[in-house]
């Protein structure tokens, strides 16, 4: 039987203020699940309840079928890594890693072997005699990871483990964490406010908003089919159009757009969202598709190079549209800042949300 972690209608109030509201979540054994949301949305509180540092005000947390609401953290066998490395500065690297083992009453003779194993795993074997302040932030976080993994926990909980690090180290270390997690097959719950990080490492992402879950899905599904305007805005970038929907025609102050028939299960005031890479740029050579529908004229006002992509801001009427274009195609197009251009917004690229 796989050991699942289940949160059933879990809520947490602090002085009657709801930090987490009615969270329902099931995490499978070996799964990598990320709680994603802006600061204050309840990610840490949720993780602390799973770890046993907070007790839910209501609802149940189960592990392997058993309710663990009142089980103390030490009895849960969950490993924890925080944003601040929380290493003991006066203890050597090897002693920091051994500390977790001591807490778990690991037999002394096997401790040394286990410490070496873990330091090898995170690539720090040669630093075992050093003190944490002698190491870089990224190395310190690897030590924290080794310390958490040493007692072979069944679940590992990571609360923004990379947010204190430089961008480059962050990307490198997150790939390492993912690799380690895949190799060990350990159930992982990861917390971050960084949507790119969440999408890149998770099997599933839980998008939170003000203590509640907005969506739980695989990264690709979250990106392609955000269930709410909030998700469409928080994960990736979207262009929004507010208007009245009749059939599949969306009418706004200064536009009329056809949106995909499949998106149209509603009517009245809605917000339609389209991703920047879905908007097409028409050059003079190309004939306008679909009898001129969904075309917008504009002026290219900002060009930002992002490497593979170029992000364009196109001023159209009273709005600025964000359009992402492959760098290669941008170069070929010969476009420059200040040029006039025409955009095509494919109907089936829109997602529609009630307002
Ligand atoms: N110990 C606490 N006492 C009172 N309020 C708290 C406590 N911990 C968190 N909160 C509040 O609960 C909400 C969620 O916080 P938190 O879980 O830390 O969010 P996140 O980790 O997503 O930034 C916030 O409004 C925060 O101020
Ligand atoms: Mg937090």
- Closest-CA residue, ligand 1 atom 6, reads 14
Residues 6+ apart with CB under 8 A from 162: 141, 169, 170, 173, 174, 192, 194, 197
- Closest-CA residue, ligand 1 atom 2, reads 14
Nearest ligand (C-alpha, residue 159): 2
Domain 237-283+294-354 sits in CATH at 2.40.50.100
Q: 10-22 pLDDT, tens per residue?
A: 999 999 999 999 9
Q: How much is the average pLDDT of 229-255?
A: 95
Distance separating the N- and C-terminal Cα atoms of the chain: 44
Residue 38 CB less than 6 A away from ligand 1: no
CATH 3.40.50.2000 assigned to domain 5-230? The reply is: no
Residue 49 CA to ligand 2 center (angstroms) comes to 13
Residue 43 CB less than 6 A away from ligand 1: yes
User: Is the pLDDT at 105 greater than 90, yes or no?
Assistant: no
- Closest-CA residue, ligand 1 atom 25, reads 40
Q: Buried b vs exposed e over 159-187: b needs ≥16 C-beta within 10 Å? A: bbbbebbeeebbeebbebbbebbeeeebb
Angle at 236 between CA 234 and CA 237, to 5 degrees: 90
What tokens were used for 251?
Answer: 């009418």
pTM, two decimals, is 0.93
Q: 174-192 pLDDT, tens per residue?
A: 999 999 999 999 999 999 9
Question: What is the residue extent of each domain of the chain?
Answer: 5-230, 237-283+294-354
């Amino acid at each position: 039987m796989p050991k699942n972690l289940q949160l059933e209608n879990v809520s947490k109030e602090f002085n009657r203020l709801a930090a987490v509201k009615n969270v329902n979540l099931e995490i499978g054994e070996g799964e990598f699940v990320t709680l994603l949301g802006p600061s204050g949305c309840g990610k840490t509180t949720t993780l602390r309840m799973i770890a046993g540092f907070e007790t839910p005000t209501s609802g149940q947390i189960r592990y392997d079928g058993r309710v663990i609401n009142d089980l103390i953290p030490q009895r849960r066998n969950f490993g924890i890594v925080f944003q601040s490395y929380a290493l003991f500065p006066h203890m050597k690297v090897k002693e920091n890693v051994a500390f977790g083992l001591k807490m778990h009453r690991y037999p002394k003779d096997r401790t040394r072997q286990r410490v070496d194993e873990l330091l090898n795993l995170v690539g720090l074997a040669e630093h075992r005699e050093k003190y944490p302040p002698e190491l870089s932030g990224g190395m310190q976080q690897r030590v924290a990871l080794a310390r958490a993994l040493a007692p072979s926990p069944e679940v590992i909980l990571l609360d923004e483990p990379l947010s204190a690090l430089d961008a480059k180290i962050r990307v490198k270390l997150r790939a390492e964490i993912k690799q380690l997690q895949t190799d060990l097959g350990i159930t992982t719950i990861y917390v971050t406010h960084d949507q790119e990080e969440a999408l890149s490492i998770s099997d599933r992402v839980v998008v939170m908003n003000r203590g509640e879950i907005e969506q739980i899905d695989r990264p690709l599904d979250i990106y392609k089919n955000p269930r709410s305007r909030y998700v469409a805005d928080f994960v990736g970038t979207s262009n929004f159009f507010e208007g009245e929907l009749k059939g599949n025609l969306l009418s706004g102050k200064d536009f009329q757009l056809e949106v995909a028939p499949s998106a149209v299960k509603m009517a009245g005031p809605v917000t339609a969202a389209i991703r920047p890479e879905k908007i097409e740029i028409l050059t003079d050579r190309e004939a306008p598709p679909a009898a001129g529908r969904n075309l917008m004229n504009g002026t290219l006002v900002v060009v930002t190079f992002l490497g593979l992509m170029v992000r364009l801001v196109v001023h159209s009427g009273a709005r600025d549209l964000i359009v992402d274009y492959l760098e290669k195609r941008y170069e070929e197009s010969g476009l420059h800042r200040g040029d006039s251009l025409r955009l095509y917004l494919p109907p089936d690229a829109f997602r529609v949300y009630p307002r």
